[in-house]
Structure 1
Amino acid sequence: MWDEVLEPQDDLGSLCEQVLGKPFSYSDPVQWRAGLAYRGSHQHNTPFPHQYALVIHVHHGHCDGNDLIKSQVWFSDILDDILSGRRINETPLCTYRENDDIKSLMEQVKIRLLEDPHKIDSIRRTQPSEDRTPLLMKIAGKPQIPETSTGYVIRSFIPQVMNKFQENAKAAGISFNSSIIAAINTALVELATEAGLSQDAYKVTFGHMISLRIYLEKSATHRSGLYGKMHNHSSTLSKNTRDNFWEYATQLHQELRSAIKTGLALQQDVVSTMDNSEMTPDEIVANTCPTLCDYLLSNMSTPISAGKDQPENIILEGLYCLGRVHNFHNITCYIVRYKDNYSGTLNYSKQFYCSDTVNRLFDTLLNVIKAVS
């Protein structure tokens, strides 16, 4: 059995717990789990009166977040064609690969690293230390009753503010990803300062997901598979970074761009694999340290032209990404852009944080973005 489809429900929270609450293992025959939650009838919206939330959880060995976001847009379009009685276009939208191209790429990186042992040591020094304490954890403290589960804070960004923010980033020659990371770092430092942790400079260590597709030859169709790799990076900023935000964001962007250009994420992954060569994939996952980084960011966007302009039966109103992260990270931020709509979720381990702390972080992040836009 490759899939598990749950019965439709009325309670979205309960459905999310059922879909996301049960993890997949490497040997699990079930590759994805999904369910629908009825969100009510809105007769004033006459063309599309009935609203549902589709919750889908996919085995991470099968695809990455980039695939999953795109697939929901494709699914909505295909379903609209079916309900409209139109002929389905059977042209492949993507091509699933067994990641042989990635294995070959990583093997080339390994060969080059083995020729330079000093390089391997320098790569190790770019990785965060396991004995560090994330900045937010220093100022918030642990919950009174820690839980081994994931909590979610979900927000929608104001489109006009985000568009202005992205325009400023583009004018400064900065990617949206770099500017969002700069804003999160600034928000963390401002929370630390407000909490009385006063320092001249703060070091924020984060992981951000990059797509290894950028290192491969162009493909006629989208490459589907697990192409996401986490690049760990540390950044130093002052408590007054908001005052010179775009200067800081420019510097950070240059650092991240250089790391991507030199393939540092690939090198970090290869060295980590070499250092844990005696462990099985399940053992590596089981021994993941959730406090390595202050946070992890995954920024997923669909093409601005994605989705039909005038669907007849189904309209996709928004996309949100949730992750069962508590075994792997203390806090993970997902940003999803669909057309002009931006959504964000902070997925956090209830072992380390309470909802008030994470909501304060999100509020401060939104405030920073608005102030510098």
Structure 2
Amino acid sequence: MCAAFVKQYSSGELIHGSSDWRMIRPATPDEISYDTFHKHYARQGIGRFVYNSKKPFGEEEWRKALRHTTNKVEVLRLCLKEKEGNLMLYELQNHDIDFKIIENKSSLEVAEDMKNEGLDLSFWSARVVPAVPGEVYPIPDIKEEFPHQYNFIFKFHHGLWDGGTFQYFFRVFSEILDDILCGKTVNDDIKFGKFQYENPLETKIKEVQQTLESDPLRLDEEKKQMLSLTMKPPILYSAFPVPKGVKATTHHIIRNIDNAHIDTLHKYCKSRKVTVTAGFEAVFNTALVEMVTDAGVVEDGYKINIRQNINMRRYFKVDKDFTKFPLGCFLGGMQQEAFCKKSPREHFWEHAQEVSSNFHSLLKNDGPIIESVVRPLVQGPLDPEMLANGPPQDMSDYAFSNVLDVTRFVFYEGAQVQLTNIIAYNFINNFLHPMLFQFSTFRGFGTLSLSHDTGKVTDETANELMDRIMDVLEYVTRPDSKL
């Protein structure tokens, strides 16, 4: 994350002759990068919330809830717009809400349509897909009391939002929606969240940069390590070559994981001092090695590059006051190399402990910040326009985002409406890794998703990998496991 600007403008300048518009500052390099990708329909995040209500309701209530949330949560009023050839960050007080109710389509079809629609002025868009007859109820126990089901699908600009900001939004939105359905008055004067116009990590980044520059030997070592992590093609390609002539898009495979497996994995990880993140990564690595081995690529060991999505709020002080939660995009990345032996199930927990130890060490020693400083020195400045048209090479075998237990952060049990499921669609095509895994738990059940770039991994290979992952997970969490 960076806050280096090339041209200065006076903050608060109004545009279009309207007091509704307020120019805040030039866009940061990260915001520019995400905006470029979005214009190529890549690196997009779209969330699907499943709501169940006591009574049916329609467009008026949805729009009311969105308008009140926009008035109360600042990030919903922000957009990126060009001025004199430079991308700028603006606030617009009364923008039109991009909202529609869509029928006769699946939620995934609507999400795909939204991905290809772009964003008007880089704000956000929302769609509702009423449940069709026969659609699964996520929590059957409440079906009788809350029989009406709606899929609320929301697309945001990743340059201004991350997972933490997204969770914050739907916590506030869900409460407001329930208040409206209960007939309560919503007070727009009470604001929620604080968008970070200046980068709270800037001082930390400069400190790390100065430390590395004062120690040339260490800096050289960090550069060599970074270079070694980005030179190896993904292990999957050795047995399952990149498909030819296939248009790159993103397909999603979503599997539910029952409580028993989640609880057992937590228990086994805790007893071995392994993070759950490392436990899942060991499962992914084991499945990958088994797949390529079964396909005839047999080696004494396998190197796997993992790209971990990191919430960078961990590196600065976050106000405990819920109304002051820092909003914006604080999504960092950290590259980690894992070595997996052949016959990986036999060495599963040994491997998981190595992954966990390395992960802890990197986090503790500012790994994501060091990478943000060193990577540009190794690769040179990355041109977002070039990357958005297809990166020159993949830089990791896969990325992983462990969202943990969303139940702790959101409002889900209202008097008139309940939030019963949360699903993320991560569009990763034309980016730096062929696959992204995401795991989360909500209201007692787990969801593991695999998003894969169809220009790099076929549907057949991705489904085979997911089947293998579920098999490995069941194997390492069986009650009599003595691994």
**Given the two structures, how large is their TM-score scaled by the length of structure 1?**
0.90
Against the structure 1 CA distance between its residues 145 and 276, is the aligned structure 2 distance closer, same or farther, given a 3 Å change threshold?
closer
Query: What is the alpha-carbon distance in structure 2 between the residues aligned to residue 303 and residue 332 of structure 1?
Result: 19
Given candidates 260, 263, 282, the residue that maps to 1:163 is: 263
Query: What is the alpha-carbon distance in structure 2 between the residues aligned to residue 357 and residue 278 of structure 1?
Result: 33
Write out per-residue CA displacement over residues 193-242 of structure 1, whole angstroms, 9 at most, x where no aligned residue.
11111111111111001111111123223322111111011110112222
Name the structure 1 match of 2:207: 108
Say whether 1:121 aligns with 2:220. yes
Name the structure 2 match of 1:230: 333
Say whether 1:255 aligns with 2:373. no
Query: What is the alpha-carbon distance in structure 2 between the residues aligned to residue 165 and residue 271 of structure 1?
Result: 35
Name the structure 2 match of 1:244: 347
- Counterparts of residues 71-150 of structure 1 (less than 5 Å): 71-86=169-184, 88=186, 92-127=191-226, 128=228, 130-143=230-243, 145-150=245-250
Query: What is the alpha-carbon distance in structure 2 between the residues aligned to residue 323 and residue 237 of structure 1?
Result: 27
Name the structure 2 match of 1:364: 468
Query: What is the alpha-carbon distance in structure 2 between the residues aligned to residue 239 and residue 89 of structure 1?
Result: 61
Check conservation: 1:73, 1:316, Cα contact below 8 A.
no
Identify which range, 273-282 or 108-117, moves more after superposition: 273-282
Name the structure 2 match of 1:331: 435
Name the structure 1 match of 2:110: 15
Instruction: State the secondary structure of the residue aligned to 1:297.
Output: strand
Q: Which amino acid aligns with 1:225?
A: G
Name the structure 2 match of 1:4: 98
Instruction: State the secondary structure of the residue aligned to 2:426.
Output: coil
After TM superposition, give the deviation of residue 124 of structure 1 in Å: 2.1
| Structure 1 unmatched runs, 5+ | none
Query: What is the alpha-carbon distance in structure 2 between the residues aligned to residue 282 and residue 195 of structure 1?
Result: 36
Larger Rg: 2
Given candidates 157, 161, 167, the residue that maps to 1:63 is: 161
Check conservation: 2:182, 2:416, Cα contact below 8 A.
yes
Against the structure 1 CA distance between its residues 344 and 136, is the aligned structure 2 distance closer, same or farther, given a 3 Å change threshold?
same
- Counterparts of residues 203-352 of structure 1 (less than 5 Å): 203-220=303-320, 221=322, 222-274=325-377, 282=385, 288-289=391-392, 291-308=394-411, 310-328=413-431, 329-352=433-456
Name the structure 2 match of 1:36: 128
Query: What is the alpha-carbon distance in structure 2 between the residues aligned to residue 280 and residue 141 of structure 1?
Result: 27
Given candidates 295, 298, 321, the residue that maps to 1:198 is: 298
Say whether 1:153 aligns with 2:253. yes
Check conservation: 1:124, 1:268, Cα contact below 8 A.
no
Query: What is the alpha-carbon distance in structure 1 between the residues aligned to residue 251 and residue 311 of structure 2?
Result: 26
After TM superposition, give the deviation of residue 165 of structure 1 in Å: 0.9
User: Percent same amino acid among aligned pairs?
Assistant: 21
After TM superposition, give the deviation of residue 350 of structure 1 in Å: 0.9
Query: What is the alpha-carbon distance in structure 1 between the residues aligned to residue 448 and residue 152 of structure 2?
Result: 17
Against the structure 1 CA distance between its residues 243 and 87, is the aligned structure 2 distance closer, same or farther, given a 3 Å change threshold?
farther
Q: Which amino acid aligns with 2:444?
A: D
Name the structure 2 match of 1:52: 150
Instruction: State the secondary structure of the residue aligned to 1:17.
Output: helix
Against the structure 1 CA distance between its residues 337 and 152, is the aligned structure 2 distance closer, same or farther, given a 3 Å change threshold?
same
Instruction: State the secondary structure of the residue aligned to 1:333.
Output: strand
Write out per-residue CA displacement over residues 271-314 of structure 1, whole angstroms, 9 at most, x where no aligned residue.
22345665665556667445211001111134544445742222
After TM superposition, give the deviation of residue 141 of structure 1 in Å: 2.0
After TM superposition, give the deviation of residue 37 of structure 1 in Å: 1.5
Instruction: State the secondary structure of the residue aligned to 1:316.
Output: strand
Query: What is the alpha-carbon distance in structure 2 between the residues aligned to residue 215 and residue 89 of structure 1?
Result: 34
| Structure 2 unmatched runs, 5+ | 1-94, 478-483
Against the structure 1 CA distance between its residues 270 and 23, is the aligned structure 2 distance closer, same or farther, given a 3 Å change threshold?
farther
Instruction: State the secondary structure of the residue aligned to 1:208.
Output: strand
Check conservation: 1:3, 1:30, Cα contact below 8 A.
no
Against the structure 1 CA distance between its residues 140 and 223, is the aligned structure 2 distance closer, same or farther, given a 3 Å change threshold?
same
**Given the two structures, how large is their TM-score scaled by the length of structure 2?**
0.70
Query: What is the alpha-carbon distance in structure 2 between the residues aligned to residue 285 and residue 309 of structure 1?
Result: 37
Identify which range, 209-218 or 285-294, moves more after superposition: 285-294
Against the structure 1 CA distance between its residues 100 and 327, is the aligned structure 2 distance closer, same or farther, given a 3 Å change threshold?
same
Instruction: State the secondary structure of the residue aligned to 2:418.
Output: coil
Against the structure 1 CA distance between its residues 290 and 98, is the aligned structure 2 distance closer, same or farther, given a 3 Å change threshold?
farther
Check conservation: 2:175, 2:411, Cα contact below 8 A.
yes
Query: What is the alpha-carbon distance in structure 1 between the residues aligned to residue 386 and residue 458 of structure 2?
Result: 28
